[in-house]
Amino acid sequence: MRVGEAAVIDPRGLDELIRLLGDLGYETKGPVVRDGAIMPGAVRGVEDLPAGYQDEQAPGHYRLRRGEGDSLFAWAVGPGSWKAEMFSPTEELWRALVHGDDVSITEPESPVAPLAIIGARPCELAAMAVLDRVLADSAVPDPHYVARREGAFVVAAECGHPAATCFCTSMGTGPGVESGFDLALSELNDAGGHRFVLRVGTERGADVLARLSVAAATVDDLAARNQMVSRAAGAVHRQLANEGLPALLARNQEHPRWDEVAERCLACGNCTLVCPTCFCSDVRDTSDLSGEVRRGRVWASCFDLDHSYLHGGSVRTSVSSRYRQWLTHKLSTWWDQFGTSGCIGCGRCIAWCPVGIDITEEAAAIRETDGAVHAATARGVGPR
């Protein structure tokens, strides 16, 4: 098989692929059922994947239920993204031990085994590409991210069952995928049987596939794959109007909607924790009586009051200013910094917001009342 070509495998063939990647030295991870949700976890074969599970999502709502079928990817996305595998929630940067006048510094070792991701959604591939721009392709790359990302083998799984919170079609990030993967799966479970159209994205993917027994994809298989993707795209009803959006938000910094959403927002940071592209972090130092000092990095959120702390206090003291910072960075100033949107349309922030705040609804509300200001703003008062 060559790049761009397609084959067909059944669930037994997928099991062989997962086990082969393990035999090749990869740490194989994919979607598993954990704590009532679909989460990334260790997979050693098809038996570890969420067979028959489906998800139900809405603003402030997520439920996982067991269906009657045996499909492995009949769900959208869970709260955990692949970001955590590349950009860890907690990371030791270095430790130092002080003995009198001597100081010895050690850094943690790089991961021993490269990662093989099984079943990454198209929107998650888009999120990885966004993080690549931020953490790998910047003037000062993050060595910890790069060490995990460079060796990763990615098996994508196209989305046939989008959630009500998804808006990937607005962002051009799904439900199908054409790049960013080594191999891409399209699950079909119809009159033709339970099978996967498997497309080759890289030479590395072709080399792995050459070790498996596969059948060439037929015209009917490819047509069924195209129909699956088309049906999924038609099932995405939530939309985000992107035309002129960065400029729209930039000129509405004092819009009354920021105060209105702040009346509901808990500033809990759930949206940033589940977001597959948010990358803010804090650096923390700890020490003990032995003389050892540790420096570590932890995920942070722009909803934290201390996130904007400067000498004398925080810059963004109100919830409205913190929500405004998050949304306008995600949809507007991210373009200035990285040449792309910071949103990939996965809808996680909508489903996992405790009060169901919808990023698409907030952007639409500002668009509908472009230029509106508080009477108080005219007196020099606005979100800060």
Q: Which pLDDT belongs to residue 376? A: 41
Question: In this prediction, what percent of the chain has a pLDDT beyond 90?
Answer: 83
Joined tokens for residue 33: 């059922």
Say what the alpha-carbon torsion angle 213, 24, 180, 130 is, to the nearest 10 degrees: 160
Which has more confidence, 380 or 243?
Answer: 243
In a 3-state reduction of DSSP, which class is residue 200?
strand
In whole numbers, what is the pLDDT of the chain averaged over residues?
93
Tens-place pLDDT, residues 163-184: 999 999 999 999 999 999 999 9
Distance CA 231, CA 83 (A): 28
How many residues are there in the chain? 384
Compute how many other C-beta atoms are within 10 angstroms of the C-beta atom of residue 298: 12
Look at residue 29 and tell me whether its pLDDT is greater than 50: yes
- Contact status, residue 154 vs residue 200, Cβ threshold 8 Å: no
The pLDDT of 21-47, averaged and rounded, is: 97
Closest by CA to 330, choosing from 370, 303, 296, is 303
Burial, 306: exposed, middle or buried (Cβ in 10 Å; 0-12, 13-18, 19+)? exposed
Burial, 331: exposed, middle or buried (Cβ in 10 Å; 0-12, 13-18, 19+)? buried
Beta partners for residue 30, in sequence order? 41
Look at residue 377 and tell me whether its pLDDT is greater than 70: no
Tens-place pLDDT, residues 296-353: 999 999 999 888 888 888 889 999 999 999 999 999 999 999 999 999 999 999 999 9
pLDDT band of 383, cuts 50, 70, 90: low
Distance CA 14, CA 77 (A): 20
pTM of this prediction? 0.91
Tens-place pLDDT, residues 338-347: 999 999 999 9
Give the CA distances from residue 128 to residues 29, 261, 326, 352, in Å, rounded to whole numbers and listed in that order: 16, 29, 19, 20
Look at residue 374 and tell me whether its pLDDT is greater than 80: no
Tens-place pLDDT, residues 38-92: 999 999 999 999 999 999 999 999 999 997 789 999 999 999 999 999 999 999 9
Q: Which pLDDT belongs to residue 380? A: 52
Which has more confidence, 374 or 29?
Answer: 29
Look at residue 191 and tell me whether its pLDDT is greater than 80: yes
The pLDDT of 100-121, averaged and rounded, is: 88
b/e 214-249 (16+ beta carbons within 10 angstroms → b): beebeeebeebbeebbeebeebbebebebeebbebb
Tens-place pLDDT, residues 146-167: 999 989 999 999 999 999 999 9
Q: For residue 174, how far is the Cα from the chain centroid?
A: 13
Which has more confidence, 20 or 380?
Answer: 20
Give the CA distances from residue 275 to residues 55, 83, 141, 345, 348, in Å, rounded to whole numbers and listed in that order: 18, 9, 21, 10, 6
